[in-house]
Structure 1
Amino acid sequence: MEIFDYVIIGAGSAGCPLAARLSESGRHSVLVLEAGPRDSNPWIHVPLGFGKTFSNQSVNWCFSTEPSPGLNGRAVFSPCGKVLGGSSSINGLVYSRGQREDFDSWRQEGNTGWAYDDVLPFFRKSEDQQHGASAFHGADGPLGIDDVNDCHPLSEAFIESAMAAGIARNRDFNGASQEGVGAFQVTARAGRRVSSAIAFLREAERRRNVCVRTKAEVEQLTIENGRVTGVTYARRGASTTVQARRTVVLSAGALNSPAILQRSGIGRREWLQEAGIEMRHELRGVGANLQDHLQARLAIRSRRHTTLNNQVRHPVHLLRMGLQYALFRQGPLASAGGQTGGFVRSRAGLDRPDIMYFVMPFSSADLRKGLDRFPGFTIASCLLRPASRGTVRVRSRNPKEAPLIEPHYLEAESDRSTMLAGLRLARRIAAMDPLRQEIACEERPGPSAGTDEELLGYIRDTASSVYHPVGTCRMGSGPDAVVDARLRLRGLSGLVVADASIMPTIVSSPTNAASIMIGERAAAFLLEEA
């Protein structure tokens, strides 16, 4: 049987920095198991190429939730990276950490070492910031962080109109304050995506003490005498068991990490019984506390015929886009989807933003079916801190059977009222010059939806995930906590969980940056113990 010091399950946003940091001294052997293939699909590396990987089952788990009562019984598509780099290889590239208060609240819940001032050095450690080092940014790390390339005039017009509506401009969402509107920074450089695999794993793979195995789907953890000692995985039609001399690190994400624990007999007794799995260690919080960002979108018909909707349908424009990118790494293909946006308060009296906006120079009722046939752009309004909580649980021991995901969207009244307020504020911004001059009409929901009841009906009928599931292996000290503040599984030794699943509460931003930080933090804990 093969033995490694560390076995890392998942080569995603957190798993890649873990592999890099644990192996860089040369003293520790590291095995990385990734269920998906290598990141050789060319669309992964094109910033706007996420539209091509959005529902591509060769690099994407393509999960779907159970029908959600809060969304009129609709199931919601939930993409999740299944490739080297994980979701950092298929996401929208926006690099935003969250608010100081997010991390301070983790510390206030008893998680020592997770306040903002504690985690800021680990954000900085990863970064190679385009504008150089500062109190808030690092420039010596492997993760390229750049300004958005080729920002569309409509995206710029949103900033000006939001300022006309009384919202301040913010030129650095990851600086002293997150609040305001402006252009996002992205994990891209020179017109190419910088995934977690590109930033961290490429160099680590060259080391003799690192082994990366793709298309290796974990079946279960090996548990002996109160300790997780190894991993059994399926690859090329055969099951293989490997041992971890020091630690197994579970970094499979907020949907797959609880599923792997449950398939191994770790979790809530009644859920395991329903799935026909023998309980090895009861831990009721496994798969609970699911949180996600929900978005409602204004689809707006533009007076301009230069939106992406038009460009992808016109042969000459499409050819120009391809040549711009192939020759110069410029043009629409080199840009992110969400170019500008911001973080705002939905109502007076709040101490910090509770709504996030993304402005995209295209529109679509469903990206899996393509873009709208009219010249359009989108203002997406996202709920930052949902009060609703959902669950993830396995249906059986079969790793090829997708988990049962019940997010309970809009279950809390506060979520419904905040979504309404965010959509109304987006409309108010759109009614301000200069954006107003660019608009032919609002296509969805349209002017006929004016009352709260009508707008809420539109939200229930059309709202979708922003694909940021977290919280299902919650860090904490209470009875439903899954890991402690050093990310060790409660009640069993030998296992650390390090990915977005450990977040007690969701960060007020996209989750990729925080997931990378969690990987950095976990590596530091493990190296201290070693």
Structure 2
Amino acid sequence: MLYLSQTGARRAATMTQGRFMRDSGCLFTCLPECHFVPKTKNMGPSLTCSSTSHYRCFSTSAAHRNSSSSPHQKSPSYSYVIVGAGSAGCVLANRLTEDAHESVLLLEAGPKDMLLGSLRLSWKIHMPAALTYNLCDEKYNWYYHTLPQAHMDNRVMYWPRGRVWGGSSSLNAMVYIRGHAEDYNRWQREGAEGWDYEHCLPYFRKAQCHELGENRYRGGSGPLHVSRGKTNHPLHKAFIEAGQQAGYPFTDDMNGYQQEGLGWMDMTINKGKRWSAASAYLRPVLGRPNLKTEVRCLTTKILFDGNRAVGVEYIQKGQKKRVFADKEVILSGGAINSPQLLMLSGVGNADDLKQLSIPVVQHLPGVGSNLQDHLELYIQQQCTQPITLYKAQKPFHMVKIGLEWLTLFTGYGATAHLESGGFIRSRPHVTHPDIQFHFLPSQVIDHGRVASKDRGISGVHVGPMRSASVGWMKLKSTNPLDHPNLQPNYLSTDIDVWEFRECVKLSREIFAQKAFDLFRGPEVQPGPQVQTDADIDAFVRRKADSAYHPSCTCKMGSPSDPMAVVDSNTRVLGLEQLRVVDASIMPSIISGNLNAPTIMMAEKAADIIRGRPPLVDPGVPVYRPPTLETQR
């Protein structure tokens, strides 16, 4: 995403097959056109799970036995062991330690999100405009890549995922989008009992502290600060006005009563600083005596006593350690790490596990299945006025912007610049929006790895929200350090191809409105030569990329659903004292970005775990289009 980072020198990502190039005096890595991109560098020694090292049988007193790797120390135990300090894990660590008699251990594979406790020393995370530094770097990033995509010219797709306190909320573009009410009503129909909109909205509100104040849809006193953009950039205003000229409504809150339309984006930015889940939920409670955190530790397996989870094993500084949970083990590693850990521990499709000689603890074929993601692309045009972010990306201006942010937390460094956007319906008879826009007064090339050479380009990031293409992930080996095979099956259905075609056509229609007359130059991408449906389809195959929203790989559902992994209380089916709480348990992907829904889910799950009655807002009104006979 932004935009100020990649024009400055950065540490080149290691262990790629790319070539180093110089651009504007800046060193960066250009990934090659080939279809194999190696994974991130190892975090430690190679590890292999075998039948002899796969722990299943522990007596009731196992938590108090000496660890074989630490013969002179007893393995510690806690009420809850949470694996993953991302968007969900930080919420759970906060809420579960509100009960002083409960103890929590929070394990994170990556480091803390602040160097020496200083926000300024960790500016690459906390300065909103610097987001591509870490988005395209391995330091805080799992740096995943998919298998070659057959329907996208055999391209290998890049999937950054957070490996740091805050998880992907410390790497993302800080866009706060909840999705549509009908997404959650659909979850209820898909078997996630009690996860309809009336039961989810109160937890969005509980989490949120919106700078515009509280109402029936917005929260005003939660830990997650949400704000609107402060730049008032003329191109953002032009985009919103052009949408109205094209026949789409203005929405004053796309997270409130009416998602449909174009308007101003909400962002997880507080007083000019990224407000991640770690900022909102974790750091404020580090002083609690019943919360323990460990960083740079890779959890390698769940420990079972029969069908009961009793703890986990992890590697830290090359040493194998075990820790035990008196009540529950909770996986919050995200849509890739949580199913990977389940499979490494013997929970998954029995046939796949047996092929890797992993003893089967529980046959759950849904683990790793149902993989869903958002695929998006940029429609870009020249801007005839010198008002894009191009100038801000030059070294002198970057230093000036950086100094202002470091001293005052204001200016162009205090925003991710995705300040406008919205949702529309792709065609008549679609009940709620299925296309999302993010507008940006700048150009993005190759995930921000390549600096723009053009003085004035702006564009809109657009994509379908409910693709029919569904994929899977599977273990590559029994080595926990090996990234799993990721197969999203992008563009594998005709309807997905058609919807992307509409994304391009509808974006062009908005750019053609009168509001852009003062700024409109030639189209840069796809370009004026791309006109026929076949041309547009080829452009989409060549240029669309992941929006970094993998989800649904441990789907929540009814126990009668053979592909469900957790029940509506987030408990892993067929097992005891084991839950999954993160984006992997979404039954289906929502219409929008995933950070806000993941935090909501963790807030709701915390009440479930603590045995509290669910919050509910019965009869909350939601906008419906006056007619479905037209698309707008």
User: Normalised by the shorter chain, which TM-score bucket?
Assistant: over 0.9
The question of whether the paired residues in 2 share the 8 Å contact of 1:310 and 1:373 is answered with: no
Deviations, residues 76-115 of structure 1 (Å, cap 9, x unaligned): 0000000000000010001110111000111122322101
Matches of 2:407 and 2:308 in 1, distance apart? 54
Change (3 A) 1:151 1:265: farther
Query: Could you say which structure has the larger radius of gyration?
Result: 2
Following TM superposition, by how much is the alpha carbon of 1:24 offset from its aligned partner in structure 2, in angstroms?
1.1
TM-score normalised by L of structure 1: 0.98
Matches of 2:517 and 2:465 in 1, distance apart? 26
Matches of 1:273 and 1:343 in 2, distance apart? 45
Aligned to 2:563: 480
Letter in structure 2 aligned against 1:5 = S
Q: Does 1:513 find its partner at 2:593?
A: no
Partner of 2:518, secondary structure, is helix
Which one is further off, 315-324 or 64-73? 315-324
Matches of 1:518 and 1:380 in 2, distance apart? 26
Deviations, residues 108-136 of structure 1 (Å, cap 9, x unaligned): 22322101000111111111111111111
Aligned to 2:441: 361
> Which of the residues 56, 72, 96 maps onto 1:22?
96
Aligned to 1:394: 475
> Which of the residues 451, 455, 479 maps onto 1:371?
451
Matches of 2:596 and 2:164 in 1, distance apart? 18
Aligned to 1:331: 411
> Which of the residues 448, 451, 471 maps onto 2:529?
448
Partner of 1:70, secondary structure, is coil
Matches of 1:47 and 1:5 in 2, distance apart? 36
The question of whether the paired residues in 1 share the 8 Å contact of 2:131 and 2:416 is answered with: no
Aligned to 2:618: none
Following TM superposition, by how much is the alpha carbon of 1:351 offset from its aligned partner in structure 2, in angstroms?
1.1
The question of whether the paired residues in 2 share the 8 Å contact of 1:20 and 1:200 is answered with: yes
Q: Does 1:175 find its partner at 2:256?
A: yes
> Which of the residues 147, 153, 162 maps onto 1:72?
153
Aligned to 2:110: 36
The question of whether the paired residues in 2 share the 8 Å contact of 1:275 and 1:395 is answered with: no
Matches of 1:277 and 1:265 in 2, distance apart? 6
Deviations, residues 305-338 of structure 1 (Å, cap 9, x unaligned): 332233212x443333223323332222111242
> Which of the residues 503, 514, 520 maps onto 1:422?
503
Identity, % of aligned pairs? 37
Aligned residues: 529
Aligned to 1:495: 578
Partner of 1:378, secondary structure, is strand
Change (3 A) 1:228 1:332: same
Matches of 1:217 and 1:149 in 2, distance apart? 40
Summarize the alignment of residues 149-164 of structure 1 with structure 2, pairs less than 5 Å apart: 149-164=230-245
Aligned to 1:9: 83
> Which of the residues 610, 624, 629 maps onto 1:527?
610
Letter in structure 2 aligned against 1:513 = A
Matches of 1:300 and 1:51 in 2, distance apart? 22
Matches of 1:202 and 1:190 in 2, distance apart? 17
Following TM superposition, by how much is the alpha carbon of 1:265 offset from its aligned partner in structure 2, in angstroms?
1.1
Deviations, residues 13-58 of structure 1 (Å, cap 9, x unaligned): 1110100000012110000000000002321111112111112111
Aligned to 1:306: 387
Partner of 1:429, secondary structure, is helix
Q: Does 1:237 find its partner at 2:313?
A: no
The question of whether the paired residues in 2 share the 8 Å contact of 1:149 and 1:330 is answered with: no
TM-score normalised by L of structure 2: 0.82
Change (3 A) 1:394 1:151: farther
Matches of 1:328 and 1:467 in 2, distance apart? 31
Partner of 2:206, secondary structure, is helix
Aligned to 2:63: none
Matches of 2:418 and 2:372 in 1, distance apart? 22
Letter in structure 2 aligned against 1:518 = M
> Which of the residues 281, 298, 301 maps onto 1:220?
301
The question of whether the paired residues in 2 share the 8 Å contact of 1:296 and 1:419 is answered with: no
Aligned to 2:40: none
Aligned to 1:55: 136
Following TM superposition, by how much is the alpha carbon of 1:226 offset from its aligned partner in structure 2, in angstroms?
1.0
* Gapped regions of structure 2 (runs ≥ 5): 1-74, 115-121, 614-632
Summarize the alignment of residues 257-336 of structure 1 with structure 2, pairs less than 5 Å apart: 257-313=338-394, 315-336=395-416
Q: Does 1:343 find its partner at 2:423?
A: yes
Structure 1 residue ranges (4+ consecutive) displaced by more than 4 angstroms after TM superposition: none
* Gapped regions of structure 1 (runs ≥ 5): none
Deviations, residues 206-251 of structure 1 (Å, cap 9, x unaligned): 1000001010110000011111110000001101111100000000
